[in-house]
Structure 1
Amino acid sequence: METPSATAVSNPTTTTPSSASAPEFEYRQHDALGLADLVRRGETSASELLDLAIARAEAVNPKINAIITPLYDYGRAQINAGLPDGPFSGVPFLLKDLLCAVEGTPLSNGSNALKGRISPRDSELAARFRNSGLVFFGKTNTPELGLMGVTEPKAFGPARNPWNLNHTPGGSSGGSAAAIAAGIVPMASGGDGGGSIRIPAACCGLFGLKPSRGRVPTGPYAQEFWDGAATEHVLTRSVRDSAAMLDVIAGPDGSSPYPLRSRNNYQDSLSQPLRKLRIGYTSTSFIGRPVSADAIAAVEHSVKLLEQLGHEVEAVEIRLDGEALADSYLTMYFGHVAADLEFMAQQLGSRISNLDVEDTTKVLGFLGKTISAGDFVQAKRRWNDFAQTMHLFHQRYDLLLTPTLGSEPVPIGSFEPPAWEAVAMKVINAFGLHKLLLKSGMVKQMALDNLEKLPFTQLANLTGLPAMSVPLYWTANNLPLGSQFIAPMGDEHTLLQLAQQLEQAQPWMLRTPDL
């Protein structure tokens, strides 16, 4: 293996760890396209890269608990059978253990109830990943059903942030983010229903892009996820990997209800000059909660960098009904948990009350059952209000800049309910007191308390707009805290072009934690 690829900009503070062999260290200096290029030129092989990825996983995964289902033999079998000649041919890859089904492998969705359940066929997304030449060798940790902004499932234990093992890597794609930040892979899959790509990217110093609604297929198991609020893509170390992967996976399948059919050419767009952008920014929480000084500083740092690059940046006030935003998001959230648990119970020949799921998940599911069809539709109709707010905003501004997080990554266990709430949930589940719980307002208060740390990401999910988190700021505790940019519907090109410009101005790829 030779020197790092051209996009892996050198960092004078980066040195070879004493415990790393030269091939392992070189492996960790490349992005996915760089590794594929080495394979294509015959300077390494897919088998050698897989061995290096497995060795790195064996060395660091016990510390971070990112990979919960090793598939080492599966990856070797892929290589032996012959890999497709795609843009990522020979590159080791990890799949989030949620939604992304691979034929013949377990898909637990982070739940004890689904442990050992084998997928009968690939999801369309997994098939497109496979056709790009990627080598699958493991599934990554995720909260149960992807419901939290941290990754601490009871079924598998918490994933940990490689920058500080006492802190979260975010959620719900926390295992994927931790694995990338720890140098196991340069890229891994993720999904985003309320920030679940952008939040882990922000927590782990990575690039994370949430595509526009309808950009990425969801078949054949679903027509859309979370009424269109959720989509899938990857988390990456480099911008060009994200762009190249979007070229691979974008486009409708047989399940797509409202496909975006525009030409992809996302990677090619990175070679085009970026026009001067007009960017509005705010650090004010969309739900009216406090935001940390670090989150404000992260945006201020990004504003200065954008101004140095020649963009026009100004403070804005987003006139948004934050309470309605939170209510609409939570109504959708509760409703889909109820539907998911009902589906699980049918598949397992059980009842929801008997499912081996976490108490919090069960409470959320029962709350979803108390919401009427009319209430759900009314909440869904409010999504248009938020979409119109952003439509008017984008008449004046190309992009909206906010913090990705409301604070630096929180310590492990921060979202755990206090002891009295945990006991209360057990009692509520045992005696069916969920309507009383909903009327008490306690659930909404608990949800808002959790959203306080993550108040900026749900807007892009409900509106369907593309958004990204870019790693430009580290706190005094040496923890990453990303900056979020939201673009008009379908304008991933501008996001990726700006991200590359920021990456070149302030390289982050070789800024890695010391494990």
Structure 2
Amino acid sequence: MIEKDASGLAQAVREGHLSAFELVQETIERAEEVNPTINAISSRRYEEALKEAQERDLTDLPFAGVPIFLKDLGQEQAGQVSTAGSRLFRSVVSKQSDNYVKALEKLGFIVLGRTNTPEFGFKNISDSLLQGKVNLPDDISRNAGGSSGGAAALLSAGAVSLAPASDGGGSIRIPASFNGLIGLKPTRGRIPVGPDSFRGWQGASVNFALTKSVRDTRRLLYYFQTCQMESPFILPELSYQSLFMAKNKPLTIAVQTESPIGGEVSADAIAAVEAAAHFLEKAGHKIVYLDKQIIDGVEAMKTYYLMNSVETAAMFDKIEAAFGREMTLLDMELMTWAIFQSGQKIPAKDYSAALSKWDQYSHQMAVFHETYDLLLTPTTAGPAPKHDQFLLSDDLQQKLIQMAEFDQQEQQELIWEMFSESLDWTPYTQQANLTGQPSISLPTYRNEQGLSLGIQLTAAKGREDLLLQIAELFEKEGQFK
């Protein structure tokens, strides 16, 4: 068992071995000690947190007094600045807490502030013009990943015991891979949504957290889960029996290392999966190597970018109404501008067709899981990238500035080109967001340079219990690196 995980700290608070005030104070000190090196914190509410630690009744709460930083993208807390990594929102204060944050508070967590994220969460790295780059604690010449980069770096650096995060295309699992953490993306509909946004990115985006222990992941999932009837995605809750008391059974696990979009995969990423498959086979599980992709990865990503374009255009309609003026390139980063403009020319029938394909992918994966319990892949095709590794060419940047002048097909081709290098680095995570399946990154491998690469396991909808079964096996057998 990992010492001083969130569950252990909460137990110490409940039993009186440690006060919530002491815990919050110590966490603030650690966070301020490491932050100048990693640049993970975007805002602070330390005085309020210390006051809460003294005054709140934390009796019997599962995460009593555990300090956390919210991700500065969504995860709205009343009275706190919420920038979404955007200079446009540098002074915007949330008027109400969302249901996710309310649920965290009800579990006993105490919020200390917010963590650095790329503008609107569009990237797999964190380097917003507003807050700057988030450094990987293991090698500050590299990026901690995105979009939950600040959350991952703060947890990896030992400042906190658990880090709220969100995942719209891998934003929990990608930084988990780079930072040597556990990153679960739950099934769509598992975690509370609303009251403003009920279908983030049409259900592709979900909130949860990054952790260092399977115990924290399991307990957080159990206490956090909901069957939210007002949500468009309703899911039965997992029973205590299925999460905590079910007997482990041999599973049939499919293995796929090739990139779903045909890109290059590092030898380290392949080695990580092969080592994991060998370990699982020795533990009694059946391993089957796949010789073809289950879903057309290129087609799937094209539908993902089309969705993102439309949702971004709709988001900026609301922003323009709130600000009372039209937005310009000066209001946002170039990538955001390009996605915003590309959403203006997509017909509703094309958007409907793209979402229908998501349903088809979901069906394909449901059929796949009739034969295979889990799918094992790399989480990322390589370790944390160097800062500025994915810089865009001057020619492409000029085209993105002029994005509005191109037709729909040309715009989508430019979006693909804009993301191509970074997507090649992280091609495995997005499909579970489209299908709504649960997927987890586990820290089972480090390369010769000591850099982490995660393995990813994906299950059928609603079967987080199987992911946690395997995660616990790796943890108990000392396989986490």
Under a length normalisation based on structure 2, what TM-score does the superposition of the two structures give? 0.96
Query: CA 1:350–1:452 in 2, change beyond 3 Å: closer, same or farther?
Result: same
Tell me which stretches of 4 or more aligned residues in structure 1 moved more than 6 Å: none
Q: Distance in 2 between matches of 1:440 and 1:459?
A: 19
Which secondary structure does the structure 2 equivalent of 1:295 belong to?
A: helix
Counterpart among 283, 286, 293 of residue 312 in structure 1 = 286
Provide the residue aligned with 1:446 in structure 2: 418
Counterpart among 379, 386, 390 of residue 415 in structure 1 = 390
Counterpart check, 1:119 vs 2:94: yes
Answer yes or no: is the 8 Å Cα contact 2:306–2:412 preserved in 1: no
Q: Note the alpha carbon deviations across 1:250-281, whole angstroms, 9 max, x for none.
A: 11446411211234428x72444311111000
Provide the residue aligned with 1:329 in structure 2: 304
Provide the residue aligned with 2:17 in structure 1: 43
Answer yes or no: is the 8 Å Cα contact 1:191–1:197 preserved in 2: yes
Provide the residue aligned with 2:234 in structure 1: 259
Provide the residue aligned with 1:281 in structure 2: 255
Tell me the amino acid that sits aligned with residue 378 of structure 1: A
Provide the residue aligned with 1:480 in structure 2: 452
Comparing 482-491 and 318-327, the one that deviates more = 318-327
Q: Is the strand fraction higher in 1 or 2?
A: 2
Answer yes or no: is the 8 Å Cα contact 1:285–1:291 preserved in 2: yes
Counterpart among 140, 143, 157 of residue 182 in structure 1 = 157
Answer yes or no: is the 8 Å Cα contact 2:305–2:415 preserved in 1: no
Counterpart among 472, 478, 481 of residue 500 in structure 1 = 472
- 1:110 positional shift: 0.9
Provide the residue aligned with 1:23 in structure 2: none
Comparing 172-181 and 286-295, the one that deviates more = 286-295
Q: Distance in 2 between matches of 1:362 and 1:278?
A: 45
Question: Percent identity between the aligned chains?
Answer: 35
Unaligned runs of 5+ in 1: 1-6, 9-28
Under a length normalisation based on structure 1, what TM-score does the superposition of the two structures give? 0.90
Comparing 174-183 and 68-77, the one that deviates more = 68-77
Q: Note the alpha carbon deviations across 1:63-99, whole angstroms, 9 max, x for none.
A: 1011110111121121133143311101111110111
- 1:322 positional shift: 2.0
- 1:437 positional shift: 8.2
Answer yes or no: is the 8 Å Cα contact 1:367–1:438 preserved in 2: no
Answer yes or no: is the 8 Å Cα contact 2:400–2:414 preserved in 1: no
Query: CA 1:440–1:375 in 2, change beyond 3 Å: closer, same or farther?
Result: closer
Answer yes or no: is the 8 Å Cα contact 1:93–1:137 preserved in 2: yes
Provide the residue aligned with 2:364 in structure 1: 389
Tell me the amino acid that sits aligned with residue 106 of structure 1: V
Q: Distance in 2 between matches of 1:144 and 1:62?
A: 21
Q: Note the alpha carbon deviations across 1:201-247, whole angstroms, 9 max, x for none.
A: 11100001001011112110112111111111010000111111112
Aligned residues: 479
Comparing 98-107 and 314-323, the one that deviates more = 314-323
Q: Distance in 1 between matches of 2:58 and 2:21?
A: 15
User: What does residue range 236-385 of structure 1 map to in structure 2 within 5 Å?
Assistant: 236-253=211-228, 255-265=230-240, 269-316=243-290, 317-353=292-328, 356-385=331-360
Provide the residue aligned with 1:468 in structure 2: 440
Q: Note the alpha carbon deviations across 1:273-319, whole angstroms, 9 max, x for none.
A: 31111100010111111111111111011111111221111201333
Q: Distance in 2 between matches of 1:436 and 1:257?
A: 29
Provide the residue aligned with 2:49 in structure 1: 75
Answer yes or no: is the 8 Å Cα contact 1:83–1:90 preserved in 2: no
Provide the residue aligned with 1:3 in structure 2: none
Q: Distance in 1 between matches of 2:216 and 2:191?
A: 16
Query: CA 1:254–1:119 in 2, change beyond 3 Å: closer, same or farther?
Result: farther
Counterpart check, 1:99 vs 2:77: no
Answer yes or no: is the 8 Å Cα contact 1:270–1:496 preserved in 2: no
Answer yes or no: is the 8 Å Cα contact 2:116–2:126 preserved in 1: yes
Query: CA 1:438–1:72 in 2, change beyond 3 Å: closer, same or farther?
Result: same
Unaligned runs of 5+ in 2: none
Comparing 484-493 and 318-327, the one that deviates more = 318-327
Provide the residue aligned with 1:16 in structure 2: none
Q: Distance in 2 between matches of 1:83 and 1:348?
A: 40
